[in-house]
Amino acid sequence: MTIRPILVAGDPRLNTPTTQITEFDDDLAQLVEDLFDTNTAANGAGLAANQVGDSRSVFVYDCPDDTGRHHRGHVINPVLETSGPPLTAHEGCLSVPGERFPTSRAAWARVTGVDLHGAEVKVEGTGFSARCLQHETDHLAGRLYLSRLLEPHAAEAALMLERSGWTEPGISWLPGDGPDPFHS
C-alpha cells in the first residue's frame, strides 16, 4: 500500500495536460494501485495521476451513482462525452483540500478509454457520478474545477488561494497524516 502526497492548487503540474499512455507495464499497474490507495486514504471520489505529480493520462474513481451504489474503476486515456442541462452543486477537490464551491456540470457523462490491459472501458453516469467523471477528465486536461467557477465564486476562490498560500509550486498534503481536510 502506497499513499502518495496530493499536489495542491498552485502547482503547475495540475495545469499541465497529461500525456497519452502507450506502455501498459508493471509501472503503470503500480501507479493505478497507488492512485486507489491514495484516493481511499483521502476519502476521495476520484483521483487523477497529475494530482500526485505523474504526467500520465489515467484516473481512478470510487463514487456513488444516483441510487447510492458505488462504482469503482480506472480509465486510461479517457475521452469525455456529456449531455443534458447543466446542474450546479457544491464541488470539492483533493487538490483544493477542505474547500467547496458551486460548480456547473452536465447532467450526464460517459468516458471511454482503456484499462491496464488495453481493453476498452466505457463508464457513464448521471448526477454525482457524471460530475466525478467530468472532474477527473478535466484534471487530465490540466484544468482544476476552480477555473469553471462563475462570479462571485471565482473571486472567492482566488482570495482563498491567496489566503491559503496556494500560489506556489510544490505544496502537497499526505492523506492519513493529520486531520481529514474535508471531514474535520
Regions of the chain where pLDDT drops below 70: 183-184
**So which residues are the catalytic ones?**
136
Contact 10, 51 (CB under 8 A): no
Domain 6-165 - what CATH class? alpha beta
132 has binding-site annotation: no
Q: E-assigned strands of the chain?
A: 6-7, 46-48, 58-64, 70-93, 96-114, 120-126, 172-173
90 has binding-site annotation: no
Gap between the Cα atoms of 17 and 7, Å rounded: 15
pLDDT of residue 184: 55
Contact 58, 20 (CB under 8 A): no
pLDDT of residue 1: 76
pLDDT of residue 183: 67
Contact 103, 148 (CB under 8 A): yes
pLDDT of residue 66: 81
**Is the sign of the CA dihedral 161, 95, 134, 43 positive or negative?**
negative
Boundaries of every domain in the chain: 6-165
139 has binding-site annotation: yes
pLDDT of residue 181: 78
